[in-house]
Structure 1
Amino acid sequence: MESIILNNRKRLFIFLLALVAVNTNAMSKLDIGDIPPNYLGENREGVKVNLADNKGKIVIISFWASWCAPCLKELPILEEIQTTLGKDKIQVVAVNFKESRKQYRSIKKQLSALALTLTHDKRGNLGSKFGVEGIPHLFIVGKNGELIYQSVGYGDSSREKIVNILNKELSNKS
């Protein structure tokens, strides 16, 4: 009888633990209109990168990895967009997602010509706060600090869609 009660307690404990894990993950996903986490990592110089430092600008946050071909296609496009529109209007933060420090350092050297802010999310903690489940995962934060767009993947129509979202936000007077 005592072992049955113990087994039931174990089952209840496991069930509650699973329920908490599911709810925590569900709470982490960002929806349009949400305020994303402020801290985005450290840049190449070791300086903290915060959304609040870009108030009044549009911020594009892209979670990527070196082994992800669509990610490596997307990064130069994001740099081109940032260069065209100007860093006074838009800031791109490219967050390397779940790669070792060694892998990140290697790819960071290869991408050094890109004028993007690079940060590193080795354990995926930042990605989980954003609700990243696949890469590339792109988030666009509007001038008011709220999430205005997000997408997973990168394809032929992605650039046009991103540019349209940015133009709409830039024409917004807020």
Structure 2
Amino acid sequence: MIRLSRRELLAGSAALAVTGTPSFAEETNLRALGLAEPAFNVDAELNIPDLTGAVHQLEDYRGKTVVVSFWATWCPPCRKEMPTLARLGRELGTDDYAVLAVNVGDRQDKIEAFLEQIDHEGMAILLDNKKDMPSKWFLRGLPVTYIVDANGKVALGAIGERVWDAPEMIEGIRSVGQTS
């Protein structure tokens, strides 16, 4: 396992330690994007509502590659990357992919006020009002994003802000969908 310093994690140069199975070329490209296979166990579980109250579970997305991004309205990097997640969701489409933006701990009125200011069409906004997700998904800061393959296994993760709709990022996420 590769150990990363706090500075490396915050800089986003290498998101999480790689233990992985991708080919060397894929691994290098994914690492350059700040995506890596988690070297720790993630309890990939959801049982939380969206803004309308409909409860989402990860099993609902079985067969799809799912981008699960954890964020908060008080987090400047989270606020900055949210529109790129929405554009990613629109670019990938909903047939084989889903983008879920899980807010950790904010009140719904505060979330809705923030969403009125940004482009957010293309992703589901979920509410973790009870703050259950940090312990289940190994969150030690925000934003944190995981890519879950079609079988429900956490394939990749990233700590810190990313430009999710960059062509290289879209290609990297699609490569996860092709290998699962």
Q: Do they fold alike, i.e. is TM over 0.5?
A: yes
* SS state at 2:44 partner: coil
Answer yes or no: is the 8 Å Cα contact 2:107–2:129 preserved in 1: yes
Which has the greater radius of gyration? 1
Q: 1:102-137 deviations in whole A, cap 9, x for unaligned?
A: 423433444585232111122421122111011110
Q: Does 2:89 align with 1:82? A: yes
Change over 3 Å in CA distance of 1:146–1:48 after alignment to 2: same
| CA distance in structure 1 between the aligned counterparts of 2:52 and 2:72, rounded to whole angstroms | 20
Which whole-Å CA distance do the structure 2 matches of 1:160 and 1:133 have between them?
28
> Are 1:38 and 2:45 an aligned pair?
yes
Deviation string for 1:37-79 (max 9, x for gaps)? Answer: 3324101221111111111101111111112221122111111
| Distance (whole Å) between structure 2 residues aligned to residue 86 and residue 98 of structure 1 | 28
| Overall identity of the aligned pairs, in % | 26
Partner of 2:107: 100
- Consecutive unaligned residues in structure 2, runs of 5 or more: 1-36
How far has the Cα of 1:96 moved from its partner?
A: 0.9
Report the Cα distance in structure 1 between the residues aligned to 2:85 and 2:114, rounded to whole angstroms. 17
What TM-score, normalized by structure 2, do the two folds share? Answer: 0.68
Specify whether residues 88 and 155 from structure 1 end up closer, same or farther in structure 2 by C-alpha distance, changes over 3 A only.
Answer: closer
2:140 is aligned, of 123, 130, 133, to 133
Contact persistence 1:34–1:147 (CA under 8 A): no
Structure 2 residue identity aligned to 1:143: A
- Say which structure is richer in helix: 1
Q: Secondary structure at the match of 2:114?
A: helix
1:53 aligned onto 2:68: no
Question: How many Å separate the matches in 1 of 2:65 and 2:111?
Answer: 26
Residue by residue over 1:132-161, the C-alpha shift from the partner in whole angstroms, topping out at 9 and shown as x without a partner, is 011110011011110011111014699466
TM-score (norm 1): 0.70
Gap change, CA 1:156 and 1:77, over 3 Å in 2: closer
Q: Which runs of 5+ in 1 are unaligned?
A: 1-29
Distance 1:33 1:65 in 2: 23
